[in-house]
Structure formats: C-alpha cells, structure tokens
Amino acid sequence: MLEQLKADKKDMKEVTKMRASGILLPVASLPSKYGIGAFSKSAYKFIDQLKAAGQKYWQILPIGPTGFGDSPYQLFSTFAGNPYFIDLETLTEEGLLTTEECEACDFGDNPRYIDYGKLYDYRFTLLRKAYERSNIEKNEKFHEFAEENAYWLDDYALYMAVKNYYGGRSFAEWDEDIKLRKPEALKKYRKMLKDDIEYHKFIQFLFSTQWYKLKTYANDNGIQIIGDIPIYVAYDSADTWSHPELFQLDENYNPIAVAGCPPDAFTATGQLWGNPLYDWEYHKKTGYEWWISRISYSFKLYDVVRIDHFKGFDEYYSIPYGEKTAVNGHWEKGPGYDFFRTLNERLGRLNIIAEDLGYITESTRKLLEMTGYPGMKVLEFAFDSREESDYLPHNYNKNCVVYTGTHDNDTIKGWFESISREDRNYALRYLNIDERDTDNIHWILVRLAMQSVADICIIPVQDYLGLGSEARINIPSTVGGNWRWRLLDGELTEDLLMKIREITSLYGRC
C-alpha cells in the first residue's frame, strides 16, 4: 500500500500552496432584493469587497434545490441548482418579468431573515411566468445546455415534474409504476408532463447561465469559490429515484439502513440523518463512475470543493431503517483510499478540503494523510479545559484550513458567552487576556486564526461584524429557524474592509 501511495503521489499534479484567506457567506445570506440572496448585483458587489479586503476565497454552502427544512444539505439533486438563487432583476432586464410583478410579491418584511414560506409561495409563480414568456424552445443555447447535461437533467426535470403532480410528496408515496420507474409509466409521464419538464430544464438553464457568469467575474478578480458537497444525498431526491442501484435499498426502493452519527457527549441518542447509505461494493464495481461524474461536475461549479463528513469514506454509521434514534446503529467500513486513488487516476490531483470534524479515529487520520488533502481546524473547538486539543493553533501543520467557526457553530460572540467558566478561563489564559479585553473577542480569535501556520484561513462574515447568536446560520439536529440569517446592505463598510485587509496583509495572506 505504501509503495502504491508513493506512486500515486508522484503522478499527482502539484497544487500550489500559499498562505491565503477568505470569507464564509452562503449565497442565501447575500443582501439581494426579493427575500433571499441571489446571483444579483449584491453578489458582484461582495466579490468586489472580497478583493478590496485582500481575500482570495469566497466559501459558500451547497447551492442545490432544497426541500423540507430548507437545509442545503438535504437536496432534491446533487447536480441541479437552487431556483431561489436566480436573480429576478436580471430576468426583468431580459424582458421575462416586470419590476411591478416582482415588487407585488410579498417576500417578507424583515431583511435580516429569510421567510421561506413566502419565498415558496411567490418565487415559483414568477419563474413560471418567465418560462411562459421565454420562447425557450427556439433558444439554441438552451438546447446545447440540455444536451450537455442530459445525463442528470432529464431525470431531475422528470422527477420534479412528477413530484409537483403528486402535490410535492416524496417519490415513496407515488403510484408504484412511476415510483419503480416502469418503462410504460416513464413514457406516460414524459408525455403528460411535457411542458412541466421543459419548465424545470428552463430553470436550470437560468441558474447555470447566471452562476457561471458570476463565477467568471469572481475568478477574473482573483477570487476562487470554495464549494461544499454533502457526502450523502437525500432519500427524496432525483438521485435516489433515478439510480436506486447506488444505494442500500430494497426491491421497493425503501432504505435498508440510513446515515447518522452515534450518541456522544452532546447528543444522548445520536443523530439520525435519514439519508440512504451507499452500496459501496456496487460503486467499486463500476469504478466509482457516479462519484467521478459528481466530483467532476462539482469542479465545474467551484474552484475548491469541501467534502462534508470525510469520515464516511473511511467508515460510516449504519442505522436500521425505521429506528427513531441513532442508538442502535453500528459502524461499517467505507471504500477507503481505493476511492481517492480512483479519483486521482481519473481526474488528476484535486483541490479538495476534507471536513474531518467530530469524532475522528486513527484510521480516518491515516486516510486523510494518504490523500494529502487539508483538513479543518475550528477555534471554537479548541478551548476544552479538560484535555489538550488538536484545534489549538500550536498543534497545527501547514496543510489545513482554519476557521473561527463554521455554519454549524455559533458566532464567536455567541459561543464565548455560552461556554463554561472553566473553558472560558482556559481561553483567557491561552490568549493572554483578561475579562476586560473580551468585548473584542471576535477580533482576537480572527487574529489567532490569521497568524496560525494554516495555509488557508476562512472567517464567517458574522465574526468580522462581531454579531451574537442571533446571527447563527444553523443549529444541528434541529428543524425550523435555520438557514435564515442574511447580511444587510452597508454592513461591510469601507473601514471594515480595510481593517480586514490590514490584518490579512500583516500575517502574509494578502
């Protein structure tokens, strides 16, 4: 194995390493008009602000179409884009909508938080109007897009059309013939829902056109996009329905076992995610073809890809389907280094960040070392007064990405106010400050991250703004109230951008 690893690494194209930094801000959190962040003027302005602040990276969350709970980690497709991110102002400029139509919709009255209920009620009505006015069947670029992406788009558009036909219900509740993709049923629904299928392809064409224009602008201005892909797909998704052979499903397409995490000090019953588990033996037999396609597509969308739950490639937690908690799950072996060796052989050396947070075993550490990918260091995890932590900066090596916190953490201000007295005292000693200095605790932690040896430093925008728990993006294992926070126009002032640039330059990241 060691000799094979050396041969693999010799053949890999070297990735340029340099000290750099960036800002974490979900697309949904941009201060765009009409209720949610989008590929709008606000997105282009944010890229300009990143450049002015001396940043190299914009890290975002998954940008696929979300379902119940609005989580970007539970998507209707691993390939499709979120229709909410299509910029309506661009559609008015193209004559597909009018400003009056957009302004007449109620997207909520609080610019700080997304109202997903109102967004759902009005956004798709506007996009349908745009489709009906588009004369899209005569658009050559649309047909080129549809042909180039047919390998995922055909199934996705049909899935969404049928899903809407069944009132939004999961494919598990569809009539058996279409649930199980009987040939006659597929033919029947494709004919019956022809316009709806084209409408969903049209939405994806708009998304793709606007996204790649924005990404090109970012790259032209020296900004790289760090994307994020969940390791698992949602059960209620086009991927599961159209490719059941990829997953541990029974003959009726029902899960045999589902994903999650075991009980720990934070969750007594563990985490029951509910995603279908992969049939890794099948994937290996195909040379991981679906994964090669998925990763290759991801690197068209992004410059760097963060893979969520890296541990799952080493070993994954399997919970029998139907269990109410994760207590009765067990560990199974994942594909290991064979998977990443195949990726390297097929796609070359890739700019991947491994999300290696949580309970990590020695075998997972070894797998990460073998891949050569940078892992993640989160400062909020560092100050555990009970034990020495790998997240303390003096324990880093260069090949890592340091964060003050992630989308799953509280803001620095909120975190510092909530930790135990013992942990707080430990942090004060480590930082060499006393209680009187903690009003600027967010800047102290930003400085600690910036001055670390980590090649890359990513700071959530809320920590630059010094916001509290009200600005938190997500509380894991909860439903409702998450993924709603938004940046307000004007909050990133010129003075703040220059302050960010100064600290970035001071520590050699600019």
Q: Tell me which of 303, 323, 390, 408 is the catalytic residue.
A: 408
Question: CA-based Rg of the chain, rounded to a whole angstrom?
Answer: 23
Cα separation, 461 vs 261, in Å, equals 29
Any catalytic annotation for residue 239?
Answer: no
Cα separation, 452 vs 21, in Å, equals 11
- Tokens encoding 146: 């549809």
Any catalytic annotation for residue 355?
Answer: yes
Decide: 230 and 75 in contact? Cβ < 8 Å.
yes
Number of other residues whose CB lies within 10 A of the CB of residue 226: 21
Cα separation, 148 vs 142, in Å, equals 10
Q: Tell me which of 8, 89, 155, 355 is the catalytic residue.
A: 355
Number of other residues whose CB lies within 10 A of the CB of residue 209: 16
- How far CA 271 is from CA of 232, 265, 410, 472, 474, in Å, comes to 14, 12, 19, 20, 15
Cα separation, 500 vs 394, in Å, equals 23
Any catalytic annotation for residue 308?
Answer: yes
17 contact partners, CB below 8 Å, separation of at least 6: 398, 399, 455
47 contact partners, CB below 8 Å, separation of at least 6: 58, 214, 217, 218, 221, 223
The type of residue at 1 is M
Cα separation, 428 vs 412, in Å, equals 14
The type of residue at 415 is W
Q: Which residues pair with 333 in a beta bridge?
A: 315
- Tokens encoding 118: 């109102």
Q: Where are the alpha helices (DSSP H) in 173-234?
A: 176-179, 183-192, 194-220
HSE-CB of 481 using CA atoms within 13 angstroms: 9
497 contact partners, CB below 8 Å, separation of at least 6: 49, 52, 53
Q: Tell me which of 115, 154, 308, 332 is the catalytic residue.
A: 308
Q: In what order do the strands lie in the sheet with 57-59?
A: 352-354, 304-307, 224-229, 57-59, 20-24, 456-460, 400-403, 375-378
Using DSSP's 3-state secondary structure scheme, residue 76 falls into: coil
Would strands 257-261 and 315-320 be described as parallel, antiparallel, or unpaired?
Answer: antiparallel
Q: Which residues are catalytic?
A: 308, 355, 408
